[in-house]
Amino acid sequence: MPCDEKKKEDAREGDAEASAAPPPKPKAAAKPKAPVVAEDGWIDAGNGYALALQDGKLVCKNPKGQRLASVPKDVKEGDVAEQLVDVRDWLAAHEKECVATVEAWMLRSVPTPGAVLAAVWADAAWRKALENAVVVPVDAKGARDESMAGSSAASTRRRASAS
């Protein structure tokens, strides 16, 4: 058999072997352990340190329980700190989204159902966006009853006290 034909045959056999072998399974990424949250809101960051978010800022306690003026670099670069920063960023975006939605509700001409307001009221971001809104009930035909108008906070308190 000429040399070129032998090389081609060997290559075909190698291709057949390669296609017959199952592809290697990707290694599953280890699930990150859920951080342990203390009753006071501090999260164990390892090595005795604890982290929390206070007024949107990442804060740290040392192993002795004393609050530090700044977060140590190794703690700040850890998984728990990264997760807390992600939560902070998500909460800020959520708050902006709630405000934008409430503004859209105020600018459109279609009433927002009271059930929607009641459903979102438990969320602090929605409550902050809605707390100074004026609620005016409408009937089935869309006629407003301005004599029953009031703030959304007062309406919620009235509903809660009536239950």
Cα 147 from Cα 114, distance rounded (Å): 17
How is the chain split into domains, by residue range?
A: 32-108, 109-163
In angstroms, how far is the first alpha carbon of the chain from the final one? 95
Q: Whole-prediction pTM value?
A: 0.61
Up-side HSE of residue 84: CA atoms within 13 Å toward CB?
27
| Phi and psi torsions of 108, nearest 5° | -85, 165
Rounded Cα gap, residues 61 and 21, in angstroms: 53
**pLDDT tens, per residue, the chain with 163 residues:** 555 565 556 555 555 554 555 555 555 555 556 666 666 889 999 999 999 999 989 999 999 999 999 999 999 999 999 999 999 999 999 999 999 999 998 898 777 888 898 899 999 999 999 988 877 777 777 777 777 766 665 555 555 454 4
| Helix (H), strand (E) at residue 81 | helix 79-107
Of 44, 53, 54, nearest to 75 (Cα)? 44
Q: What separation in angstroms does the CA of 84 have from each of 31, 54, 66, 137? A: 17, 11, 20, 40
Whether 80 and 51 have beta carbons less than 8 Å apart is answered as yes
Question: CB under 8 Å to 140, separation ≥6 — which residues?
Answer: none
The amino acid occupying position 157 is: R
Instruction: Please tell me the distance from the alpha carbon of residue 67 to that of residue 40, in angstroms, as a whole number.
Output: 13
